[in-house]
């Protein structure tokens, strides 16, 4: 199978700050689409639409048009393909409930090919010295229903900064600087509620980078609360997306400064 649709790389990849948005995509390959019964709106709700537009603040990035329901690139390989409802929040995804074995293994091969392609890019980045990968995601905060109030802000920051597997002895000053800059009311579009590891700590992509590039790679897993869209209708707020992208861009110079200090 031609896997060129799964990911693409854009930008020069000559910087020490790169980005991914591995759940932004909505495409599924034809053989999976034939056996998928999950309504498209439900699938869209569990994806991270428009996060690729936020990640576009970073010139060098991996673009993922493929849905997490084909392969979830932020889960360990053994969990990367949703085979049963238990793998995906109880959702009935496949016509016969369980994804057929052949399709399952094809998706695993896709997972392997994506990580191999990313490794080739990051190996070159790591040869130049310490780097940051901004892993851009989003999360729902209105799960009780479209007519219900949003979940309390005290437990749902505007941006959750996931650093659970970051080597703080090496990158602690960088993490703190980034959090301050992203929240700074004088930068970007104004003040942002940024808190660390409140809802998410980063997962497979962060684990993989930190294991492959110890003391060299630093993944900051960014979960933007879906205030930039209506999570039930899927309608985006273009101004809010642009603002999130501007805020992220405003924090990039600080990252460059901290990386230079580490080098």
Q: Strand 61-63 relative to strand 17-20: parallel, antiparallel, unpaired?
A: parallel
Mean pLDDT of the 111-137 span: 98
pLDDT bracket for residue 16 (50, 70, 90): very high
List pLDDT tens digits, range 77-110: 999 999 999 999 999 999 999 999 999 999 999 9
| CB 19 within 8 Å of CB 58 | yes
| Mean confidence (pLDDT) of the chain | 96
| CB 49 within 8 Å of CB 234 | yes
List pLDDT tens digits, range 61-72: 999 999 999 999
| pLDDT score, position 6 | 83
List pLDDT tens digits, range 166-213: 999 999 999 999 999 999 999 999 999 999 999 999 999 999 999 999
pLDDT at residue 160 is higher than 50 = yes
Tell me the percentage of the chain whose pLDDT exceeds 90: 97
Task: Dig out the tokens for 251 from the structure.
Answer: 């924090």
| pLDDT score, position 5 | 66
| pLDDT score, position 263 | 86
In this structure, is the dihedral angle defined by the CA atoms of residues 225, 230, 232 and 233, taken in order, positive or negative? negative
pLDDT bracket for residue 45 (50, 70, 90): very high
Ordered structural domains, the chain, with CATH: 8-262 (3.40.630.40)
């Amino acid at each position: 199978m031609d896997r060129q649709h799964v990911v693409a790389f854009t930008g020069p990849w000559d910087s020490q700050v790169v980005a991914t948005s591995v759940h932004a995509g909505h495409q599924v390959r034809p053989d999976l689409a034939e056996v998928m019964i999950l309504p498209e709106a439900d699938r869209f709700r569990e994806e991270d639409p428009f996060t690729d537009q936020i990640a576009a603040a970073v010139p060098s990035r991996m673009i993922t048009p493929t849905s997490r329901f084909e392969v979830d690139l932020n889960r360990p390989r053994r969990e990367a393909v949703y085979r049963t409802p238990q793998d995906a929040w109880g959702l009935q995804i496949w016509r016969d409930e369980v994804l057929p074995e052949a399709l399952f293994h094809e998706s695993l091969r896709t997972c392997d090919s994506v990580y191999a392609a990313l490794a080739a890019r990051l190996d070159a980045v790591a040869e130049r010295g310490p780097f940051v990968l901004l892993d851009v995601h989003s999360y729902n905060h209105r799960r009780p229903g479209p007519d219900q109030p949003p979940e309390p802000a005290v437990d749902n920051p505007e941006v959750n900064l996931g650093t659970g597997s970051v080597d703080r002895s090496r990158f602690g000053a960088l993490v703190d600087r980034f959090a301050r800059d992203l929240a700074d009311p004088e930068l970007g579009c104004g003040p942002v509620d940024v808190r660390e590891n409140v809802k998410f700590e980063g997962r497979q992509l962060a684990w993989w980078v930190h294991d492959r590039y110890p003391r060299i790679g630093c993944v900051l897993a960014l979960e933007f609360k879906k205030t930039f869209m209506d999570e039930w209708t899927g309608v985006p707020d273009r101004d809010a997306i642009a603002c999130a992208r501007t805020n992220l861009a405003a924090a990039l110079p600080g990252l460059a400064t901290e990386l230079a200090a580490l080098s």
